């Protein structure tokens, strides 16, 4: 089957950055110490000026800090729902900055996840409401409301005013079929996950079978197939050299089953976790995904520039080694890692 899309403009980017899980390294370039000793995450606004998201002193007692990580969006969200007026604006300004960057990079939807803000459902719902309200104040594209909890998803959908088009739900799964009620009630697009009722799929066949069952439910509910974004699930190839191939094979089969009626997507950068030169691996994987039949990705559009993927030199040594690895032909990623160690890529 030929490529479903022929240009970067047709690729549906679900931008993944506004997540409470996202980290910057404590010793990385974006973390600094201000003159008064306050730790802060730096970011540059459109004027070129550097702004700061201050890290609360209490954060230094967390496990995340001890591990050398700063969960910057979690901090922004916590400031937004629990700080004084100045802190609330500080958190909102950081979220607005992230929105503008991803929109300028070509995003179609902005994925928002607040699950790690707190273990308390009421706090999570409050955070989702705040983030959606903050995002829709500046965004020309709709949100993708992302959570493992239907209650948190509904809090986000209820807050969204619909001014820039239907929102998206991330995600519908066999273990959460009740999410279909929200899809119908709020007239949303929906990410259809290939996850099983009792865990993650082990190969391409399980992915396809889970998708087949879910799409039967989607069809029965009267949801247009064009509103479905099927996530064939990407896992790191550093864990198993077959994970890339399982995803690509599932994409090919799902596209054959449902044709061009559906969108096919996935968290594409997951594949490179734990590997060097992640951008090379990610771009190489997206290119293979396009050939297999994806027309969408849950990605960071600032880091993964889809236009560059369409002009990728597939004859270069780096891309050849990466794609051989991604196709399951490099046990333990040994050839790729050796080439990196030898500075050949």
The confidence score (pLDDT) of residue 2 equals 66
Give the right CATH number for 8-21+107-341 from 2.40.160.60, 3.20.20.20, 1.10.10.10, 3.50.50.60. 3.20.20.20
Supply the DSSP symbol for 148: S
Can you tell me the distance from the alpha carbon of 212 to that of 328, in angstroms, rounded to the nearest whole number?
A: 25
Among 156, 76, 143, smallest CA distance to 116 is for: 76
What is the distance between the terminal CA atoms of the chain, rounded to a whole angstrom?
31
% pLDDT > 70, the chain: 99
- Give 128-140 pLDDT, tens digit per residue: 999 999 999 999 9
Q: 188 is written with which tokens?
A: 């949303």
The confidence score (pLDDT) of residue 227 equals 98
pLDDT confidence tier of residue 1, bands split at 50, 70 and 90: low
3-state secondary structure of 201: coil
pLDDT confidence tier of residue 83, bands split at 50, 70 and 90: confident
Mean pLDDT of 235-241: 97
Do the bridges between strand 168-172 and strand 189-193 make them parallel or antiparallel, or are there none, so unpaired? parallel
Predicted confidence (pLDDT) at residue 114 exceeds the cutoff of 70 = yes
The confidence score (pLDDT) of residue 3 equals 82
Check the CA dihedral 202-318-255-257 and report its sign.
Answer: negative
Among 168, 147, 104, 139, smallest CA distance to 300 is for: 104
Q: 189 is written with which tokens?
A: 């697009």
Supply the DSSP symbol for 115: G
- Give 9-64 pLDDT, tens digit per residue: 999 999 999 999 999 999 999 999 999 999 999 999 999 999 999 999 999 999 99
- The burial class, CB within 10 Å (0-12 / 13-18 / 19+), for 57 is exposed
pTM above 0.85, yes or no: yes
- Give 255-289 pLDDT, tens digit per residue: 999 999 999 999 999 999 999 999 999 999 999 99
């Amino acid at each position: 089957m030929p490529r479903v899309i022929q240009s970067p403009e047709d690729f549906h980017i679900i931008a993944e950055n506004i997540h409470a899980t996202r980290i910057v390294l404590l010793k990385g370039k974006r973390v600094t110490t201000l003159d008064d000793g306050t730790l802060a995450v730096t970011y540059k606004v459109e004027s070129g000026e550097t702004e700061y998201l201050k890290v609360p002193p209490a954060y230094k007692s967390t496990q995340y800090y001890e591990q050398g990580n700063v969960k910057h969006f979690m901090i922004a969200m916590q400031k937004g729902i629990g700080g004084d007026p100045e802190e609330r604006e500080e958190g909102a300004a950081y979220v607005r900055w992230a929105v503008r960057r991803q929109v300028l990079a070509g995003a179609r939807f902005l994925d928002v996840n607040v699950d790690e803000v707190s273990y308390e459902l009421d706090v999570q719902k409050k955070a989702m409401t705040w983030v959606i309200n903050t995002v829709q104040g500046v965004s020309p594209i709709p949100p993708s409301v992302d959570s493992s909890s239907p209650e948190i998803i509904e809090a986000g959908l209820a807050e969204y005013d619909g001014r820039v088009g239907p929102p998206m739900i991330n995600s519908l799964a066999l273990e959460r079929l009740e999410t279909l009620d929200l899809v119908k009630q709020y007239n949303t697009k929906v990410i259809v996950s290939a996850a099983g009722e009792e865990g993650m799929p082990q190969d391409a066949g399980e992915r396809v079978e889970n998708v087949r069952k879910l799409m039967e439910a989607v069809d029965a509910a009267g949801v247009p197939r064009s509103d479905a974004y099927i996530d064939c699930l990407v896992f790191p190839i550093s864990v198993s050299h077959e994970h890339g191939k399982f995803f690509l094979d599932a994409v090919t089969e799902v596209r054959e089953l449902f044709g061009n009626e559906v969108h096919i997507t996935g968290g594409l950068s997951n594949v490179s976790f734990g590997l060097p030169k992640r951008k090379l691996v990610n771009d190489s994987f997206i290119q293979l995904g396009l050939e297999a039949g994806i027309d969408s990705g849950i990605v960071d559009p600032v880091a993964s520039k889809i236009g560059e993927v369409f002009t990728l030199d597939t004859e270069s040594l780096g891309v050849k080694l990466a794609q051989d690895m991604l196709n399951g032909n490099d046990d333990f990623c040994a050839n790729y890692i050796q080439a990196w160690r030898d500075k050949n890529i």
